[in-house]
Amino acid sequence: MAVYTDVSDAELAPFLEAFELGRALTFKGIAEGVENSNFFLRTERGSFILTLYEKRVREEDLPFFLGLLEHLSAKGMQCPLPVRARDGNAWRMLAGRPAALMTFLSGLSPKRPDVQQCGELGAALARLHLAGADYKLARPNALSVAGWKPLVKSCEAKANGVHMGLSTLIVTEMRWLEQHWPAGLPAGVIHADLFPDNVFFMEGKLSGLIDFYFACNDAYAYDVAVCLNAWCFEGDGAFNITKGRALLSTYRSVRPLSSAE
Amino acid sequence: MAVYTDVSDAELAPFLEAFELGRALTFKGIAEGVENSNFFLRTERGSFILTLYEKRVREEDLPFFLGLLEHLSAKGMQCPLPVRARDGNAWRMLAGRPAALMTFLSGLSPKRPDVQQCGELGAALARLHLAGADYKLARPNALSVAGWKPLVKSCEAKANGVHMGLSTLIVTEMRWLEQHWPAGLPAGVIHADLFPDNVFFMEGKLSGLIDFYFACNDAYAYDVAVCLNAWCFEGDGAFNITKGRALLSTYRSVRPLSSAE
C-alpha cells in the first residue's frame, strides 16, 4: 500500500511527451495497490492512473494484461483502458520500470459490501467471464496448486510460531488439495483477485473493475470462489448466505453454472 | 508518506453530507504528507483534499492553521482553502480524527528546483510574509531553540553510533545556538516547512503552497533560511549561489530585508 518507485517531475515530462495527453496538471502517488506503484495524473486531456510495474509483475506478462484490458473494454466491460503512446505502444520505461497510463474510473470501493453490491458483483463477474472467452492470449495461474507448494514450503517451518499445529494443518490441507483439486471445470480468463478494493461502485451500481495483474486462465469457479470468500463473510467469520445467494443468483442469470461447478 | 487512518465508504458518506459538495465520485488515499492522512476526493462539485489530522497536529492548533489558510486565500495567496460545513465549522470528526476538506490545487512539486523556480519561490515567500502580517491568531514555533533541546537530549546517546564524534558536535552546536540565536529580527507568521514538496508549479510558474501545519510566529529570516537550505543546495552538498541569489533577489523585491536580517 505505497509508492515503491518515485517519479520526479523531470522524468514525467518526457514520458508524457510520448503520448497525446498534453501537459501534467496534477501528479500524486496513490496509497493503494500492493504490487505496483500507482499515481493519479491529471493532464490537459483528462484524468489517468499511471502504473509502474514493480518486481512481481513480469514485463513479458504485460502484453497479456494490457491486451486483456483493451479486449474487455471493447466488449463494454468497465475496466481501465491502456492509453497507447504515439508510437502505438501500451507501455514504456519510466524511472527504470515498465509503466502504463490507464483511463481513470470513478467510484468508491466498499469496505463492507452489502447484499446489493454482492449481487452487482456476481453479474459483473459472469459478464467478465463471457467477455474474456474469446481473448487470444493465455497465461497460467501462478497461484493455483502448483504455485502453492513453494509457498507452503517457505511457511512450514515458521507456521507453528504463529499458532501451534498450524504447520501440520497447512501440509495436510496442501496434500488434500493436490489429491482432490478439480479438473475439467469450465475455464477461461479469470480476474483471480476480485476483492472489494478492486471494485468500484457509484450509488450501489458497480462502476468499475481494476487491478487485473493476477488475471490468468483457470476455472471460472476459481473466480467465483474468491468472490464468495472475499465478499460474503462477515467480520466475525460467519458466512452470510444472503450475500452468497445474491452473488450466485446474478452470476447464474448471466452465465449458468454447470453441474460440476 | 502514507495513509495512517483508513476511511471507509460507509464513514465518508455521512461526513460528506455535512457539506454542500454532493456525492463522492472518487476517493483515494494519497502517498504524501508525513504527518497526516490525505485523500484525493472528487465529488459532484469538484476536487478536494481530505486531511485527517494525526497525533502530531493538535486539535487546539486547528483554528490557527485553518484560519490562516482562509486569511491567506482572502489575500490572494495560492493555498488550500478549507471548505466549511453547513454548520459553519471548518473541521469535524471522521474515523476518530479531526478532519478538514480543502480546495484542490493543480501543479507539480519539483524534485530538483531550477533557478527560475527558486526565483518564483522567493517572491511567493515574501508575499506570504506580507499577507500574514495582520493575521490575528498566534502560535509559537515548536521547532526553534527551546524545541531543539529535548530533541538533542533524545539523540545525544545514540549519535556516536551513527558517526563517532557526532554527539559532541550536536551538543556543542546546540550550546552555540542558544548563546547566539538572534533576537529582535522582523517577525510574523511564517510557513516554517517550505520544502520543494510543499510547492506546486505549472510551466515554471508557482501555482500553490501547501502543508501549513508547521506555520507559526517567528522571524521571517527563519523561513528564508529554511528555503535557502532546502532549495539552493545541490545533490553533492554544494551551495548553488545562482539559485540563492535568485531566491533572495525576488524576495527582496517584494519585502526588503533589514540590515539585521
Within a domain: residue B33? Answer: yes
Q: What is the CATH number of the domain that holds B74?
A: 3.30.200.20
pLDDT digits (tens, 9 = 90+) for B145-164: 999 999 999 999 899 999 99
- In this structure, the answer to whether residues A120 and A33 fall within a common structural domain is no
**Domain span including residue B95:** 9-103
B40 in the same domain as B97: yes
Q: Does residue B214 sit in the same domain as residue B189? A: yes
Q: What string of pLDDT tens digits covers the 261 residues of chain A?
A: 567 888 999 999 999 999 999 999 999 999 877 789 999 999 999 999 999 999 888 999 999 999 999 999 999 999 999 999 999 999 999 999 999 999 999 999 999 999 999 999 999 999 999 999 999 999 999 999 999 999 999 999 899 999 999 999 999 999 999 999 999 999 999 999 999 999 999 999 999 999 999 999 999 999 999 999 999 999 899 999 999 999 999 999 999 999 999
pLDDT in the model for residue B161: 93
pLDDT at position B33: 72
Instruction: Give the domain-ending residue among A48, A73, A103.
Output: A103
pLDDT tier for residue B143 given thresholds of 50, 70 and 90: very high
pLDDT at B1 over 70: no
Asked if residue A23 is part of any domain, the answer here is yes
Q: What is the pLDDT of residue A224?
A: 98
Answer whether residue B45 is part of any domain: yes
Q: Give the per-residue pLDDT at A32.
A: 77
Lowest-pLDDT range, A175-184, B1-10, B82-91, B197-206?
B1-10
Tell which B residues from 65 to 104 touch A, by Cβ distance under 8 Å: 104
* pLDDT the model gives residue B131: 98
Rounded CA Rg of chain A: 20
Q: Are residues A202 and A233 in the same domain?
A: yes
Question: Residue A183 CA to chain centroid, in angstroms?
Answer: 23
Distance CA A127, CA A123 (A): 6
Do A34 and A137 fall within a single domain? no
Among B103, B132, B155, where does a domain finish?
B103
Provide mean pLDDT across the span B194-199: 96
> Chain A partners of B23 at a C-beta cutoff of 8 Å?
202-203
User: Contact B8/A112, CB-based, under 8 Å?
Assistant: yes
**Do the domain assignments include residue A261?**
no
B32 domain residue, yes or no: yes
Element (H, E) at B100: strand B97-103
Alpha-carbon distance of A24 to A18, in angstroms, equals: 13
Q: Which residue, B103, B135, B170, sits at the end of a domain?
A: B103
Q: Do B108 and A27 touch (CB under 8 A)?
A: yes
**Residue B34 pLDDT grade (very low, low, confident, very high; cuts 50, 70, 90):** confident
**Whether B89 and B209 share a structural domain:** no
Concatenate the DSSP letters of all residues of A42-101 into one string. EETTEEEEEEE--TTS-GGGHHHHHHHHHHHHHTT--S--BPPPTTS-S-EEETTEEEEE
Please check whether residues A76 and A128 belong to one and the same domain: no
Q: Are residues B24 and B119 in the same domain?
A: no
SS3 B22: coil
B40 shares a domain with B76: yes
Q: Given the DSSP bridges, would you call strands A187-190 and A216-219 parallel, antiparallel or unpaired?
A: antiparallel
Task: Provide the pLDDT for residue A176.
Answer: 97
CATH of the domain at B218: 3.90.1200.10
Cα A145 to chain centroid, rounded: 19
Q: Answer yes or no: is B137 within a domain.
A: yes
Which B residues, 195 through 234, put their C-beta within 8 Å of a C-beta on chain A? 201-203
Between CA B167 and CA B158 the distance in angstroms is: 8
- Residue A186 has a pLDDT of 98
A175 belongs to a structural domain: no
Grid cell 563517532 is found at: B164
> Do residues A196 and A89 share a domain?
no
Tell me: do A89 and A120 sit in the same domain.
no
**Looking at the predicted complex, does its ipTM rise above 0.90?**
no
C-alpha cell at A77: 466491460
Q: Give the residue carrying C-alpha cell 485523500.
A: B39
pLDDT of residue A55: 84
Measured between its terminal Cα atoms, the distance across chain B in Å is 34
Q: For cell 483457470, what's the residue?
A: A218
Q: Stretch B73-93: mean pLDDT, rounded?
A: 97
The distance of B31 to chain A (nearest Cα, Å) reads: 5
Residue type, B106: S
Element (H, E) at B47: strand B46-52
- Same domain for B204 and B120? yes
**Is B189 among the domain residues?**
yes
Identify the residue among A7, A30, A203 best suited for mutation to test binding to B, counting B beta carbons within 10 A and taking the highest.
A30
pLDDT at B4: 85
Nearest in space to A214 (alpha carbons), one of A39, A65, A48 = A65
Cβ-defined contact of B30 to A30 (cutoff 8 Å): yes
Judged by a CB distance cut-off of 8 A, whether residue A111 touches chain B is yes
Domains in chain A: how many in total? Answer: 2
Closest chain B residue by Cα to residue A1: B2
Percent of chain B whose pLDDT exceeds 90: 93
- A28–B30 CB contact, under 8 Å: yes
